[in-house]
């Protein structure tokens, strides 16, 4: 899965469309994603090797939401994921890469999406118990938060990843959920939003990880819902797009990070949904496929995934329903033992 940008550009081939004429170019996006894995002749393919497993997750999720799960071959995908499995139980970005929380959660999400979680048990490095071991060992038992690996820094992103993966595996009891929840609570600022550590600048990405984690832990009571929703609604700019922090530019990926927060706390109607929908549609290259961060820029699989997910959350017709906590097909999430109680 290539993480190169382009060749398409957002906003091309549909600049003259009237707002209500804008449509989602499903076939072109499917073709764009399928072609990504064939671009091994570009240097960027290799320079982004350290993101490869994330790339597969973004591409696969977009295909599933677009209604084309067959777009990536299931067996090859499963094999690639298992090839990324390491002896410590975690997953690396690509075969031979060191394990990290970010790739471990992608691995688990991919397997769940293609209904292949039992395949984990066939890995020579152990099954889900080993994966859970890897994740549990990354929790700082004192503060409650998580590191990405044994060397790196702590961040609520990794806390969210741990909750995401372990709930999918139905092994949340392996970690101290209460301590982690307390840490998330400590990251809330006076404006109701969240920063990456206590006292840090409020940021939409952190809202996704913090609120997502609390939602998975079934602790949404800890969110200052009205104040947070007000802050999130202020992310919408006159052009309909959403930004990540006050006075910054719009970016299609915030259609996801901001939208999930509003969706989870039931305040989607505090923004103008049709304006946002039109903004996302204007970020497509309707001929070459793919979406960019904003009209005029090069497309990539990351923004394609979150643009499509945002449209699904907005109820765009024909898309499979997405789950706001996981950014995975909702029907897959609902079948998980953790939610199917």
Partner 1 sequence: MPPTSTSTTTLLPPEAKPPKSKSQPYYSVHPSWQDVVPIAQVDQAGALAAIAYSPRYSEAMSYLRSVMADTEVSERALALTEDLISMNPAHYTVWIYRMRVLRGMWTGAKAAKVDEADEKQEAGDEAGEIDEALWQNIQRELKWLDEVSFRNLKNYQIWHHRHALVDLLPSTPDTTAFTASTPSQSTETTTSDRHKKASTAAPLTEATKTRLLKLVASEQTFLAQILSLDTKNYHVWSYRQWLCMRFPSFLLPSYTSETPSSVAGTYRSHPEVAAIDAMILDDLRNNSAWSHRYFILFGHHELTYSNIHGVILKNVNEERLLHKAGLVDMPLIEAEIEYTKQEIRKAPMNGSSWNYLRGLLSHSALDISTTRDFCEEFLGPEKDLWMDQYVDVESEDSETGEKQTERQQIGVRSSHAVEWLSEIYAAEGTEEGRRRAKECLRSLGEKWDIIRMGYWDFLGEKMEEEWKQKDA
Q: Is 119 in the site for partner 1 (CB under 8 A)?
A: no
CB of 188 to partner 1, least distance (A): 4
Q: Is 18 in the site for partner 1 (CB under 8 A)?
A: no
Q: Is 185 in the site for partner 1 (CB under 8 A)?
A: yes
Q: Is 247 in the site for partner 1 (CB under 8 A)?
A: yes
Q: Is 20 in the site for partner 1 (CB under 8 A)?
A: no
- The number of beta carbons lying within 10 Å of the beta carbon of residue 269 is 10
Q: Is 87 in the site for partner 1 (CB under 8 A)?
A: no
Determine the angle formed by the axes of helices 301-313 and 26-36, rounding to 10 degrees: 140
CB closer to partner 1, 163 vs 279: 279
- Are 312 and 259 in contact, with CB atoms under 8 Å apart? no
- The CA distances from residue 53 to 103, 111, 145, 252, 279, in Å, are 6, 12, 24, 21, 28
CB of 47 to partner 1, least distance (A): 5
In degrees, rounded to 5, the angle at the alpha carbon of residue 17 between the alpha carbons of residues 243 and 298 is: 50
CB of 232 to partner 1, least distance (A): 10
The answer to whether the Cα torsion of 95, 293, 240, 295 is positive or negative is: negative
Prior bond to 251 cis, omega within 30?
Answer: no
Q: Is 76 in the site for partner 1 (CB under 8 A)?
A: no
Q: Is 219 in the site for partner 1 (CB under 8 A)?
A: no
* Cα–Cα distance, 10 to 298 (Å, whole number): 6
In the region spanning residues 277 to 306, those forming contacts with partner 1, defined by CB under 8 A, are none
Q: Is 182 in the site for partner 1 (CB under 8 A)?
A: yes
In the region spanning residues 25 to 44, those forming contacts with partner 1, defined by CB under 8 A, are 40-43
**300: β partners:** 291
The DSSP element (H or E) to which 187 belongs, if any, is none
Q: Is 100 in the site for partner 1 (CB under 8 A)?
A: yes
Torsion of CA 163, 173, 330, 33, to 10 degrees: 50
CB of 164 to partner 1, least distance (A): 20
Site residues, partner 1 (CB under 8 A): 40-43, 46-48, 50, 83, 94-98, 100, 140, 142-145, 147, 150-154, 179, 182-183, 185-186, 188-191, 196-203, 224, 226, 229-230, 233-234, 236, 238, 240, 245-248, 267, 269-272, 275
């Amino acid at each position: 899965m290539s993480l190169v940008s382009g060749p398409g550009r957002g906003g091309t081939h549909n600049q003259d469309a009237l707002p209500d004429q804008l449509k989602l170019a499903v076939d072109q996006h499917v073709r764009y994603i399928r072609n990504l894995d064939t671009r091994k002749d570009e240097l960027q393919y290799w320079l982004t090797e350290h993101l490869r497993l994330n790339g597969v997750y973004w591409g696969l999720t977009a295909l599933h939401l677009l209604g084309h799960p067959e777009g990536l071959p299931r067996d090859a995908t499963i094999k690639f994921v298992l090839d990324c499995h390491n002896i410590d139980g975690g997953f690396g970005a690509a075969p031979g890469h060191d394990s990290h929380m970010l790739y471990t959660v992608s691995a688990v999400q991919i397997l769940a999406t293609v209904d292949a979680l039992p395949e984990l048990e066939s890995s020579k490095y152990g099954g889900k118990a080993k994966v859970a071991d890897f994740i549990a060992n990354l929790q700082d038992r004192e503060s409650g938060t998580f590191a990405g690996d044994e060397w790196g820094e702590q961040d609520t992103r990794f806390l969210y990843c741990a909750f995401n993966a372990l709930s999918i595996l139905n092994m949340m009891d392996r970690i101290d959920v209460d301590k982690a929840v307390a840490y998330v609570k400590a990251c809330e600022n006076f404006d109701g939003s969240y920063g990456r550590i206590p006292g840090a600048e409020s940021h939409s990405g952190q809202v996704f990880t913090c609120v997502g984690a609390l939602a998975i832990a079934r602790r949404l009571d800890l969110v200052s819902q009205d104040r947070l929703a007000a802050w999130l609604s202020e992310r919408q700019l006159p052009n309909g797009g959403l930004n990540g922090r006050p006075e910054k530019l719009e970016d299609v990926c915030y259609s996801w990070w901001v939208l999930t927060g509003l969706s989870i706390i039931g305040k989607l109607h505090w923004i103008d949904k049709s304006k946002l929908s039109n903004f996302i549609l204007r970020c497509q290259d309707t001929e070459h496929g793919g979406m960019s961060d904003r009209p005029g820029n090069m497309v990539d699989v990351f923004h394609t995934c979150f643009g499509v997910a945002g449209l699904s959350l907005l109820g765009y017709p024909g898309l499979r329903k997405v789950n706001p906590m996981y950014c995975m097909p909702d029907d897959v999430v609902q079948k998980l033992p953790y939610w199917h109680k």
